[in-house]
Amino acid sequence: MQKQLLFDLGERAGWTGAQAALGLAVTELADIPVWWAAPVALALASAKSWVAGRLGRKGTASTLPATADPATLARGA
């Protein structure tokens, strides 16, 4: 596999895991049914993408540096 693809895969998996863990933590702390973890994680994913799109490279929701982002490399090719 390409190095950039592995970075992208790792970024996506890492953020998904963090959002799921935070969703579960929120439901535990709020003492609400665990099925709320999915909508909470979805809200966190949307917020992360929105923030990354404004603070990161324009046109992407990636938090990877430009040198490791496959989308950046594809545009430059």
Tell me the pLDDT tens digit for each residue of 44-53: 999 998 888 8
Asked whether residue 37 is assigned to any structural domain, the reply reads yes
Asked whether residue 77 is assigned to any structural domain, the reply reads no
- Domain total for the chain? 1
Asked whether residue 76 is assigned to any structural domain, the reply reads no
36-57 burial, b at 16+ Cβ within 10 Å, e below that, comes to ebeebbeebbeeebeebeeebb
Asked whether residue 55 is assigned to any structural domain, the reply reads yes
Could you list the residue range(s) of the whole structural domain that residue 35 is in? 3-71
Cα separations in angstroms, 6 against 14, 15, 24, 39, 41: 12, 14, 27, 28, 23
pLDDT of residue 1: 59
What residue ranges of the chain have pLDDT lower than 70?
Answer: 1, 71-77
Write out pLDDT tens, residues 27-37: 999 999 999 99
DSSP 8-state class, residue 17: H
pLDDT of residue 64: 77
